Amino acid sequence: MKEIVEIEYLDIEEKLEVKELINKIIENCFITENLENSGLYISITLTNSENIKKINKKYREIDKETDVLSFPMFEKTEITNIKELKYREPLGDIIISIEKVEEQAIEYGHSFERELSYMIVHGFYHLMGEDHIEEEDKKQMRIKEENILEKLNIVRN
């Protein structure tokens, strides 16, 4: 399989186990959505709460920290028509606050691995054009997210 994820660490320590987890999850997402031969890739930036707050303010005009931000490059309808690109193209960017992942893992009573995995899958489906504004859309997105996590045996504690 072609390289499908680029990981950047912004003001946080790089950890091999995190990189391996991200690669495993994104690979499974691509296979599930039949994108493994598409030529698409995802850029993931792992950072701290201070940086994600700045990014959130700059691009969404929301002056607070968040857990994950997704910046898709395609409309949902365009993605379904992508079979194989001539050149590598970004599906989009995902930015995750590792500090928020740690906080939420404690708050929700599950592992760091589970929370980070959920953030990655959640961000991936936003790049795929999914959202959770309407209740029915939220249900469909949650089903897709849980499907990926269950395949990888990453379940709630």
Q: Which of 1, 10, 2, 154 is nearest to 95 (CA)?
A: 10
Q: Measuring CA to CA, how many Å separate 21 from each of 3, 60, 66, 104, 114?
A: 15, 28, 21, 18, 10
Mean pLDDT of the chain: 93
Residue type, 1: M
* Banded model confidence at residue 157, pLDDT cuts 50, 70, 90: low
Question: What's the pLDDT at 58?
Answer: 97
pLDDT in tens, 24-62: 999 999 999 999 888 899 999 999 999 999 999 999 999
| Residue 31: Cβ-neighbour burial (10 angstroms; 0-12, 13-18, 19+) | middle
Contact 35, 85 (CB under 8 A): no
CATH fold of 5-151 reads: Collagenase (Catalytic Domain) (3.40.390)
Give the percent of the chain with pLDDT over 90: 79
pLDDT in tens, 54-113: 999 999 999 999 999 999 999 888 887 776 677 889 999 999 999 999 999 999 999 999
Question: Can you read off the two tokens belonging to residue 120?
Answer: 């990655």
Q: Which of 101, 85, 89 is nearest to 127 (CA)?
A: 89
Domain borders along the chain are: 5-151
pLDDT in tens, 106-143: 999 999 999 999 999 999 999 999 988 788 888 999 99
Query: What are the counts of helices (DSSP H) followed by strands (DSSP E) for the chain?
Result: 6, 4
Q: Read off the DSSP letter of residue 22.
A: H
Helices 112-127 and 135-151, packing angle to 10 deg: 130
